[in-house]
Amino acid sequence: MTRQRTGWGYGLLASLLLAVFGSSQAHAAERLKPFVLAATPSGDLPQVVATVKQALSDHGFTIVGSYAPYANAAFPGGERVSAQIIGVTSPALQQAAMQTEFGGFAAVQRVTVTEVKSQAASRVQIAFTNPSYMAGAYRLKDDLAQVTAQLEKALGMKEAYGSRKGLTAKDLSHYHYKMFMPYFTDADKLAQYDTYEQAVSAVQAGLAAHRGGTSAVYQVALPGKQETLFGVALSGPADNACSGDQHIMSRIDFQPVKSSGHLPYEMLVVGTTVYALPAKFRIAINFPDLSMMGSNSFLSIMCAPGSIKKALKAAARY
């Protein structure tokens, strides 16, 4: 005779299972956005930048570099925009980055202080790349939720932004903008050398010489691995203007809250090879709602992917 599972005990077990698995499914289905607006403080840009850097250091982050990609640049809608990008890393970020192929691209998160001036007002925005979003996009095993919480504790949290609906971790793990567009795993191979040391030295020399209009923003070597991440500023020289940080952002970063944390671009040395993420992926993952055509669209920067690759290749092949 089969014993029927009824009563309070079985009901409690079912409720517990539902709570556990329901919570897991809800987390998996959580919609993430590429950036987090931390605060909108008063004060001038240099003052706020100094305060932000101190807060980051006080909360366990290592600042590996910073730069100003543009100052008082003309943006859509008559705005004038100045930005300061701060690259940060931590043991948790580096540990997560070391566990997967091309995970090194996530070893540095970007914190931004952006001043937006318009006829109506001048406002300052403190923001950072959303580590959990980047963990999904870069296919990490760790969702970096603790790093996200650490940044929120250091800087604050007003809202996630950069996409109307957001993307789930599953969506991000196999993201591409449209059919025939590149995935995260379709990294561009920029250069090949005989040894890891030669590859790193070549990139350092190319950036120091500003080949292709490039400059070094930061350099982070992952401990115990032949893997080094370079943050790269792009000035957009006359012979390759479409690669420039200001050229691109002044056309596509048109929302009220700026996505300055899209910058800088990166090169990753893995063993003897120098890689970069395809710009068609790298731009789309940070601007997933950007339209293909029309004002402030991908069409407005159609020349950018090839120009960015040309600039990075010039630095990598020094």
Q: Which residues pair with 115 in a beta bridge?
A: 82, 124
Residue 113 domain-assigned (yes or no): yes
Residue 23 domain-assigned (yes or no): no
Q: What angle do CA 164, 130, 189 make, to 5 degrees?
A: 100
Which domain covers residue 89, as residue numbers?
35-316
In angstroms, the CA 81 to CA 246 distance is 10
User: Any idea what the CATH number is for the domain that residue 214 is in?
Assistant: 3.30.310.70
In angstroms, the CA 295 to CA 241 distance is 19
Residue 239 domain-assigned (yes or no): yes
The radius of gyration of the chain's CA atoms, rounded to the nearest angstrom, is 21
Residue 15 domain-assigned (yes or no): no
In angstroms, the CA 21 to CA 238 distance is 56
pLDDT profile of the chain (318 residues), mean per 10: 40 44 52 98 95 98 98 95 98 97 98 94 96 98 97 98 96 90 96 98 98 98 97 97 98 97 98 98 96 88 97 96
Cβ neighbour number for residue 266 with a 10 Å cutoff:
22
Residue of 121, 87, 66, 111 whose CA lies nearest to 256: 121
Residue 7 domain-assigned (yes or no): no
In angstroms, the CA 225 to CA 221 distance is 8
> Would you say 263 and 245 are in contact if contact means Cβ atoms under 8 Å apart?
yes
C-alpha to C-alpha distances, 263 to 174, 191, 197, 312, nearest whole angstrom: 22, 22, 26, 14
In angstroms, the CA 156 to CA 39 distance is 6
Residue 17 domain-assigned (yes or no): no
Residue 124 domain-assigned (yes or no): yes
Residue 9 domain-assigned (yes or no): no
As for how many domains the chain has, the answer is 1
Q: Edge-to-edge strands of the sheet including 273-276? A: 188-192, 273-276, 265-270, 227-234, 214-221
Phi-psi region of 222 (alpha: psi -120 to 50; beta: other; left: phi over 0): beta
